[in-house]
């Protein structure tokens, strides 16, 4: 029977599995030594095999032999999405196609997709990274794990699938969609673990409730989330209503897919980076220079043993800070704060920077609202106008225009206090905002230049 | 002697009111009076129906924002001055009518903060108040 995990200080971490204690719990010195040895090899590999890197490094006057310390990574060129898109589909591949055993592609919502290819060795690394994060959440060979991501080109489906199998868990490859069937399968097969985007998990929860399914007595124990950021309010709501423990992981197609870092149960707002496979930097998004230790900046990742497509210093555009003290869960691998904002999803409203995650946080703290929201920005009247659509919970409805408009004014005030921009708040019926199986679309920018 | 009113939060968009009305019609619930107010974005639609408990339960089941509240129901004489007589009785007693709307036939629903004192004021002015059962009897066969 499912039940949410107790607070971190009441968890006996010695009872939770650690997939690779030799690496995950080793000293910081040893991790850095592993990283340096791999970085030297990886840079030489990229230079020798990928013309794009050879040209950039030659332009910068840096040779593989110049990489002698981890700090020397700063001498290397950055890679961004554009590089991968310009070389579509296979221009960045470092091995003959016969050595590629699987390919994936990003969703391609903004132009051509990013195509990535994996060698057999890459698949080993990937499934190992997933095995680590699944065990952080307590998954073992006894678990029955139901997939609610789509399989297909998206890295989430197969990536998680292989990692769960690696620890001997049983995969139930249901795939995305058909929510009633998901609930039926949980019931019929005794599913213990659900893999889903957080917004789809909430949808499954709501549909189950509407069907009269009793989540409290379900076999479901946990959710492994990914595919989109999971705001704390949404996670808490799902944990409470489905009686499960939920963790989420971080990753991106360009450097591997899911599994770059994963949440342990000691720090629920952070994720352990698989540092023996990924060298991380945190830089000022404007200058590209490193920020101070523990400061917020843009995450830059260099996969350290990627054979299919080596990627040096990938600009994730994700904002985070990294902590390196040991963790109560027993792991010593660095923890990145969960990504709540991207440098490029920042909205500029009448000159003020606004992040959707700020709106998310304010909404999560208002009891009378569901965690769903949508931001619409337009400039029909000449000035930027930000409208935040929020869903009232049925029990929060009052039969009085006065009270309802007072309530929407309160929501607007709370948003203004955080955003420093006064939004228009639009109350929407319960269930009125779209739920999606994929990435939830929270922002619609309708501004025109004219 | 109040009657039950069902209020529903409805977005001001085509089709949204129809969803609520479909819930009623599919369950054979008869609407005997209603009032739809709107802010431009959303509205509060208030209904007097023949089976208020069932109506509320059905709306709650489909996750709608709906609630029941009590309003007074007055039967008006079908003659000039009848409505004025009701309003005057309330105003002389210092009672503010938050909103009011008419039902099928010559009934009006009045929302006030203090139902008991409004009842006394109206009864003192010889105005006939109607309860749920009486309303049902009187409106039997009256279509809206």
Chain A positions touching B19 (Cβ under 8 A) are none
pLDDT at B77: 83
Residues B89 and B103 in one domain: yes
> Where does a domain end: B44, B69, B94?
B69
pLDDT bucket at A180, cuts 50 / 70 / 90: very high
User: What pLDDT band is residue A392 in, cutting at 50, 70 and 90?
Assistant: very high
Question: In sequence order, what are the residues at sequence separation of 6 or more whose Cβ sits closer than 8 angstroms to the Cβ of residue A72?
Answer: A66
Reading the block at residue A304, the tokens are 């350290």
Instruction: Name the residue in chain B with its Cα closest to that of A400.
Output: B44
How is chain A split into domains, by residue range? 8-29+103-342, 347-445
pLDDT of res. A373 = 92
Residues of A in contact with B5 (CB under 8 A): 399
Question: Biggest alpha carbon distance in chain B?
Answer: 44
Residue B79 in domain: yes
Give the residue from B69, B103, B118 where a domain finishes: B69
Judged by DSSP in three states, A224 sits in strand
Question: CATH number for the domain including B59?
Answer: 3.30.2130.10
Where residue A390 falls among pLDDT bands split at 50, 70, 90? Answer: very high
Q: Is residue B87 part of a domain?
A: yes
Q: Give the gap in angstroms from C-alpha B49 to the nearest C-alpha of chain A.
A: 16
Cβ distance A397 to B9 less than 8 Å, yes or no, reads: yes
Q: Is residue B36 part of a domain?
A: yes
Average pLDDT score over chain A = 91
* B76 and B111 belong to one structural domain: yes
**What is the end-to-end Cα distance of chain B in Å, rounded?**
23
pLDDT at residue A450 tops 70: no
pLDDT band for position A3 (cuts 50, 70, 90): low
| Residues B79 and B133 both lie in one domain | yes
CB contact under 8 A, B11 and A394: no
pLDDT digits (tens, 9 = 90+) for B53-65: 999 999 999 889 9
Percent of chain A with pLDDT over 90: 70
Taking an 8 Å cut-off on Cβ atoms, the answer to whether A392 and B11 are in contact is no
- Domain range A8-29+103-342, CATH class: alpha beta
Residue partners of A232: CB distance under 8 A and separation at least 6: A268, A269, A361, A364
The residue among B20, B54, B69 that closes a domain is B69
Taking CB atoms and an 8 Å cutoff, what residues of chain B touch A404?
Answer: 9, 39, 42, 44
Q: Is residue B27 in a domain?
A: yes
Provide the chain A residues 197-226 that lie in CB contact (below 8 A) with chain B: 210
Give domain A347-445's CATH architecture: 2-Layer Sandwich (3.30)
Q: Do A404 and B44 touch (CB under 8 A)?
A: yes
Burial of A242 (0-12, 13-18, 19+ CB in 10 A): buried
Instruction: Give the model's pLDDT for residue A4.
Output: 59
Angle at A64 between CA A61 and CA A65, to 5 degrees: 100
Copy the structure tokens of residue A296: 């917020």
Q: What is the pLDDT of residue A233?
A: 82
- Non-local CB neighbours of A44 within 8 Å, separated by 6+ positions: A64
Task: Tell me whether residues A426 and B41 touch, CB distance under 8 A.
Answer: yes
Domain check: are B130 and B75 in the same one?
yes
The answer to whether residue B105 is domain-embedded is yes
Rounded to the nearest 5°, which phi and psi values hold at A276? -75, -15
The separation between CA A131 and the C-alpha centre of its own chain, rounded to angstroms, equals: 16
Q: Per the CB < 8 Å rule, is B42 touching A396? A: no
Q: Distance between CA B77 and CA B84 in Å, rounded? A: 11
Instruction: Look at A394 and B44 and tell me if their CB atoms are within 8 Å.
Output: no
Provide the ipTM. 0.72
Can you give the pLDDT at residue A2? 52
Considering chain B, what is the average pLDDT of its residues? Answer: 88
Q: Are residues B75 and B135 part of one domain?
A: yes
- Please check whether residue A401 touches B, CB under 8 A: yes
Regarding whether B57 and B89 lie in a shared domain, the answer is: no
Name B4's bridge partners. B70
Residues B43 and B88 in one domain: no
Are residues B126 and B81 both part of a single domain? yes
Domain around B53: 3-69
User: What is the mean predicted confidence (pLDDT) over A382-405?
Assistant: 89
Is the confidence at residue A1, as pLDDT, over 50? no
Helix (H, G, I), strand (E, B) or coil at A170: strand
A442 neighbors A374 (Cβ within 8 angstroms) = yes
- B144 lies in a domain? no
**Count of Cβ atoms closer than 10 Å to residue A288 Cβ:** 15
Q: Which residue of B lies nearest to A211 if distances are taken between CA atoms? A: B61
Among A368, A399, A405, A406, which would you mutate to test the B interface (most chain B Cβ atoms within 10 Å of its Cβ)? A399
| Closest-CA residue of chain A to B13 | A428
Do B8 and B61 reside in the same domain of the chain? Answer: yes
B46 lies in the same domain as B92? no
Q: Which of B119, B69, B128 is nearest to B95 (CA)?
A: B119
Domain count, chain B: 2
**Model-level pTM?**
0.70
Strands (E), A277-333: 278-283, 297-303, 314-320, 322-323
> pLDDT digits over B10-21, tens only?
887 878 888 999
**What's the first-to-final CA gap in chain A, in angstroms?**
58
Helices (H), A50-116: 51-60, 81-86
* pLDDT 10s digits, A96-148: 999 999 999 986 545 578 899 999 999 999 999 999 999 999 999 999 999 99
Residues B121 and B83 occupy one common structural domain: yes
Q: Is the pLDDT of residue A5 over 70?
A: no
CATH of the domain at B110: 3.30.70.260
pLDDT tens, position by position, A317-375? 999 999 999 999 999 999 999 988 777 777 888 777 788 888 988 998 999 999 889 99
Question: Domain check: are B35 and B77 in the same one?
Answer: no
Say how far apart CA A269 and CA B23 lie, in whole Å: 43
The residue among B41 and A399 whose pLDDT is bigger is A399
What pLDDT score was predicted for residue B144?
Answer: 52
């Amino acid at each position: 029977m499912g039940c949410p995990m107790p607070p971190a200080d009441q968890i006996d971490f010695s009872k939770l599995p650690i997939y690779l204690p030799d690496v995950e719990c080793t000293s910081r010195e040893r991790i850095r030594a592993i990283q340096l040895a791999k970085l030297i090899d990886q840079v030489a590999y990229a230079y020798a095999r990928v013309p794009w890197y050879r040209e950039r490094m030659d332009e910068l006057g840096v040779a593989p032999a110049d990489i002698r310390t981890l700090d020397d990574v700063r001498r290397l060129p950055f890679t961004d999405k554009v590089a991968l898109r310009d070389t579509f589909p296979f221009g960045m591949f470092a091995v003959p196609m016969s050595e590629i055993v699987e390919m994936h592609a990003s969703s391609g919502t903004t132009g051509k997709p990013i195509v990535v290819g994996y060698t057999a060795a890459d698949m080993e690394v990937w499934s190992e990274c997933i095995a680590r994060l699944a065990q952080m959440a307590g998954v073992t060979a006894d678990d029955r794990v139901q997939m609610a991501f789509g399989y297909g080109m998206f890295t989430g489906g197969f990536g998680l699938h292989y990692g769960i199998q690696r620890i001997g868990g049983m995969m139930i490859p249901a795939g995305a969609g058909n929510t009633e069937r998901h609930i039926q399968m949980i019931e019929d097969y005794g599913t213990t673990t659900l893999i889903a985007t957080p917004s789809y998990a909430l949808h499954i929860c709501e549909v189950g409730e509407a069907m009269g399914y009793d989540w409290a007595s379900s076999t479901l124990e946990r959710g492994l989330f990914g595919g989109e950021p999971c705001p704390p309010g949404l996670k808490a709501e799902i944990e409470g209503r489905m009686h499960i423990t939920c963790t989420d992981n971080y990753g991106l197609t360009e450097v591997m897919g899911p599994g770059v870092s994963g949440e342990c149960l000691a720090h629920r707002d952070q994720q352990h980076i698989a540092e023996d496979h990924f060298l991380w930097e945190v830089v000022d998004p404007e200058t590209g220079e490193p920020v101070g230790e523990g400061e917020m900046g843009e995450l830059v990742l260099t996969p350290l043993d990627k054979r299919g497509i080596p990627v040096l210093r990938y600009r994730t555009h994700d904002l985070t800070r990294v902590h390196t003290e040991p963790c109560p869960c027993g792991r010593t691998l660095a923890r990145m704060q969960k990504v709540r904002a991207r440098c490029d999803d920042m909205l500029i409203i009448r000159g003020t920077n606004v992040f959707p995650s700020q709106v998310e946080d304010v909404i999560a703290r208002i009891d009378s609202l569901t965690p769903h929201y949508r931001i619409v920005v337009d400039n029909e009247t000449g000035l930027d106008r930000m409208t935040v659509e929020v869903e009232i919970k049925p029990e929060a409805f009052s039969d009085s225009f006065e009270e309802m408009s007072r309530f929407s004014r309160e929501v607007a005030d709370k948003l203004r206090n955080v955003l420093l921009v006064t939004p228009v708040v639009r109350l929407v019926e319960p269930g009125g905002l779209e739920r999606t199986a994929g990435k939830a679309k929270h922002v619609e920018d309708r501004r025109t230049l004219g | 002697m109040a009657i039950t009113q069902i209020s529903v939060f409805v977005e001001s968009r085509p089709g949204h009111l129809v969803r609520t009305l479909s819930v009623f019609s599919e369950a054979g619930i008869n609407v005997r009076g209603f009032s739809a107010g709107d802010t431009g974005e959303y509205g509060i639609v208030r209904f007097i129906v023949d089976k208020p408990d069932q109506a509320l339960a059905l709306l709650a089941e489909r996750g709608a924002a709906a609630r029941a509240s009590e309003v007074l129901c007055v039967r008006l004489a079908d003659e000039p001055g009848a409505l004025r007589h009701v309003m005057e009785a309330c105003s002389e007693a210092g009672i503010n009518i938050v909103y009011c709307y008419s039902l099928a036939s010559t009934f009006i629903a009045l929302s006030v903060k203090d139902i008991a004192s409004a009842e006394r004021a109206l009864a003192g002015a010889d105005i006939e108040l109607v309860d749920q059962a009486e309303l049902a009897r009187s409106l039997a066969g009256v279509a809206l």
